[in-house]
Each structure stands twice: as structure tokens, then as C-alpha cells.
Amino acid sequence: MSEQDTIAIESQVPETTSLPASKESKKDKAQPSLRAKVVVFDNWCKGCGLCVAFCPKEVLEMSDDGTVDVVAPERCIVCHWCDTHCPDFAILVEPLEEDPSRRHSS
């Protein structure tokens, strides 16, 4: 392949464009940080709906099959209402970062 062929091929390749900086920064800001990992064990959940009814941030939602889905984990405030009150122990809330306000001082 000659140098002229290479130049001709390179000129046919379209240049990629990137989003304007302001749109990229909005996209980055739209990615909220997770405070906790929320897991629902479907095989344990009987679908009573207590967790869905009392979650203060509407993190959980009833699914079509009668169990619970985690629909908005980014809204979880790690209050542990759901996992503490679940009669089937079907929910696990694992904090991802330590909350400084909950540290025990010695």
C-alpha cells in the first residue's frame, strides 16, 4: 500500500465528535453515588409489601411476579427499615461507605 493510498483511506474516515463539555458534565452529575447495596432474595420474599410501603425513598417496588424489585438503589439512605422489618429476612442492605455521623467515639 502506497503513501497516497493511506492518505486517501484516512480522508474517507469520518472524524468522531464529542459532546460539548457542558453536556458531559451534566451526564457525570446525573450519576449519583450509591450509599448501599440493596439485595432482595426472591426465593425468600413472600411479597408482603411491608418494605415497599414503608421505604421513605421509594427504593423498592412490587414486581409482576409478586416479589420485590430494587428500582432506585441510588436513593437508598441506609435507614435499614426494610431489612430490619422484613419478616422473611429477604432483604440485605450493605453500606458501601462509612457514615462519619454513625462512628462511635472512644
What does the pLDDT look like over 28-66, one tens digit per residue?
A: 445 567 899 999 999 999 999 999 999 999 999 999 999
Q: Considering the domain 32-101 in this protein, what is its CATH number?
A: 3.30.70.20
Q: Which residue has the cell 493510498?
A: 5
Which residues are bridge partners to 62 per DSSP?
A: 68
Locus of grid cell 453536556: 23
Q: Which residue has the cell 422489618?
A: 85
CA dist., res. 44 & res. 94, Å (int): 18
Residue 23: is its pLDDT beyond 80?
Answer: no
C-beta neighbour count of 36 within 10 angstroms? 20
Domain ranges of the chain: 32-101
Say whether 101 sits in a helix, a strand or coil.
helix
Position 18 confidence tier, pLDDT thresholds 50, 70, 90: very low
C-alpha distance across the termini of the chain, in Å: 74
At 97, the pLDDT band (50, 70, 90 cuts) reads: confident
Each residue's pLDDT tens digit, 60-79: 999 999 999 999 999 999 99
Amino acid letter for position 104: H
Helices and strands per DSSP (H, E), number in the chain:
4, 4
Say whether pLDDT at 19 is over 60: no
